[in-house]
Amino acid sequence: MSNSQGSHRAARGGHRAGTATATPPYGVATGSAEASAPPFGSRVPRYDGFTPSYADHETLGAPVPIPEPREPLPPRQDLEPGGRAGARRAARRRKSSGGPDALRRLLPQALVVAFLAGGTSAFVVSDKAVRLTVDGVPRTMHTFADSVDELLADEHVPVGTHDLVAPGPAAELAGGDEVVVRYGRPVQLTLDGQRRQVWTTARTVDGALRQLGVRAEGAYLSASRSSEIGRAGLTLEVRTERSVTFLADGRESTLRTNAATVAEALQEAGISLQGQDTTSVTPFSFPHDGQTVTVMRISGTKEVREEPIPFTVEKTKDDTLFAGTQVVVRQGEKGARRVTYALRTVNGVKQRPKKVDSEIVREPVTQQVKVGTKALPTSVGGADHLNWSGLAHCESGGRPGALDPSGTYGGLYQFDAGTWHALGGSGRPEQAPAGEQTFRAKKLFVSRGASPWPHCGRRLYR
């Protein structure tokens, strides 16, 4: 055993016996292992940052240096982010009072303490552990963001008008917070026949229905409830269960259905339509909740009728005829059309005939009439003084349009057509105005006297 080993063990033994030894100043060698050995198990810092234990020195076989008493650490407020400046001021004070050796010993320790205290506290205060869930995918991260929108910007998470962010983008962010982002998805929803576009943040059809408040129990869905809704959206048709009442063949029945049309609901109710049968609403319309539909049993035939078409009258002015005179140049003729009617009986009650077809059989012929514009003379010499009103009353009862039963004689003075035309008249005498008839009668009297009126001619002289 070497002398150094023996001395070291002796020092250990002396320590166990409670031998008190004075502690020399740091860096002063006593020449004795017993004088330089520290208490058992103590750790002493070295300049290189390594802290050997007593056992380390026992293995290395070297004396353990004892440090000088240190100055107290600066107050805690100097360890905040602004405390590094305080540490530098303290170092300058020690330099002016303690000399170069003290500065060399304390400056590294002050810088390390200031850096660790100031930088680490600022880092710890700003850094936060948060949980970010984007569209159902969670992850935990550390961030220096002060608000939710800063976090989303740092993580390159875009949000749109229809997206959900909880808490809101302007909310402050603290350690342990959870931020949830749910993307909006467009849904082309046709609900009970009404189509519209809605937005949802749900990722499945079932979640979207719950979010939109759609009652889906017993409803028809064009996609299963478990179907996923992608970011591009989904087209979805929903027909909820409705109550529809049918009145058919004197009976009433109520059906719960999610059918798309009245015709489908009829089939579900076991009611068939035959022939001309129909319903009170369009069979292909959407059945609404609480609606009552009447089934109409229709039977009927068709009937063809021929109906007249009236002719039109075309009038033209003629200055060779006296004013008030109208002469029919071409007699009008009625046309004819063939009309088809549907005769129906609805639930045993006859309905009003309905026109379903029309065909012209014969075109009408337009009646052409000439209308006189020539001024009528007021008198005929030698005949104006006679009683023409008495003659007219005797011949025709004073009626300008009178016509005898044979159709030969007409007018106030019962002219035949030949005599009328010989006197310059046009058309039939009964069609001429009363003044013209009297004028022609006066002309006839001048040429033949009262003989044309063998029974009533004597009235001219009364």
The pLDDT value given to residue 374: 85
Closest CA to 187 of 135, 238, 233, 237: 233
User: Rounded CA gap, 129 and 177, in Å?
Assistant: 8
Q: In the β-sheet with 313-322, what is the strand arrangement from edge to edge?
A: 313-322, 367-374, 326-330
Tokens 């070291």 sit at which residue? Answer: 8
User: Rounded CA gap, 441 and 414, in Å?
Assistant: 10
User: Is 344:300 a contact under the CB 8 Å cutoff?
Assistant: yes
Give the Cα-Cα-Cα angle 403, 409, 412 (nearest 5 degrees): 65
User: Rounded CA gap, 263 and 95, in Å?
Assistant: 103
More confident call, 7 vs 408: 408
Closest CA to 269 of 296, 303, 246: 246
On the question of pLDDT at 382 being above 50, the answer is: yes
User: Rounded CA gap, 284 and 457, in Å?
Assistant: 85
At 376, is the pLDDT very low, low, confident or very high (cuts 50, 70, 90)?
Answer: confident
State the first-to-last Cα distance of the chain, in angstroms, to the nearest integer.
197
More confident call, 104 vs 34: 104
At 108, is the pLDDT very low, low, confident or very high (cuts 50, 70, 90)?
Answer: low
The pLDDT value given to residue 56: 38
Phi/psi region, residue 407 (left: phi>0; alpha: psi -120 to 50; beta: rest), is left
**Beta partners for 197?**
188
The pLDDT value given to residue 365: 95
The pLDDT value given to residue 218: 87
Q: Tell me: the pLDDT tens digits for 23-52?
A: 333 333 333 333 333 333 333 333 333 333
User: Rounded CA gap, 11 and 36, in Å?
Assistant: 9
3-state secondary structure of 373: strand
The pLDDT value given to residue 104: 53
User: Rounded CA gap, 6 and 335, in Å?
Assistant: 154
Give the Cα-Cα-Cα angle 178, 183, 184 (nearest 5 degrees): 135
Give residues with Cβ within 8 angstroms of 326, minimum separation 6: 315, 369, 370, 371, 372, 427, 431
In the predicted model, what is the mean pLDDT of the chain? 78
On the question of pLDDT at 75 being above 70, the answer is: no
Closest CA to 362 of 312, 314, 306: 306
At 14, is the pLDDT very low, low, confident or very high (cuts 50, 70, 90)?
Answer: very low
Neighbour count for residue 352 (Cβ, 10 Å): 7
Tokens 């035949």 sit at which residue? Answer: 416
Q: What is the mean pLDDT of residues 343-370?
A: 92
Q: What is the mean pLDDT of residues 335-343?
A: 94
Question: 437 exposed, middle or buried (CB, 10 Å; 0-12, 13-18, 19+)?
Answer: buried
Q: Tell me: the pLDDT tens digits for 306-328?
A: 999 999 999 999 988 877 778 88
On the question of pLDDT at 402 being above 70, the answer is: yes
User: Rounded CA gap, 302 and 354, in Å?
Assistant: 9
Range of weakest confidence among 15-24, 187-196, 310-319: 15-24
The pLDDT value given to residue 324: 72
Q: Tell me: the pLDDT tens digits for 242-264?
A: 999 999 988 999 999 999 999 99
Q: What is the mean pLDDT of residues 225-240?
A: 92
Q: Tell me: the pLDDT tens digits for 113-136?
A: 444 444 444 445 578 899 999 988
Beta strand ranges found along 97-248 (DSSP E): 128-134, 137-143, 164-166, 178-182, 185-191, 194-200, 220-221, 234-239, 242-248
More confident call, 37 vs 228: 228
The pLDDT value given to residue 193: 87
Q: How far is CA 141 from CA 106, 129, 130, in A?
A: 39, 6, 6
More confident call, 37 vs 216: 216
More confident call, 296 vs 72: 296
Tokens 């809605």 sit at which residue? Answer: 198
Strand 298-309, strand 251-257: pairing: unpaired
On the question of pLDDT at 395 being above 60, the answer is: yes
User: Rounded CA gap, 148 and 414, in Å?
Assistant: 116
User: Is 241:258 a contact under the CB 8 Å cutoff?
Assistant: yes
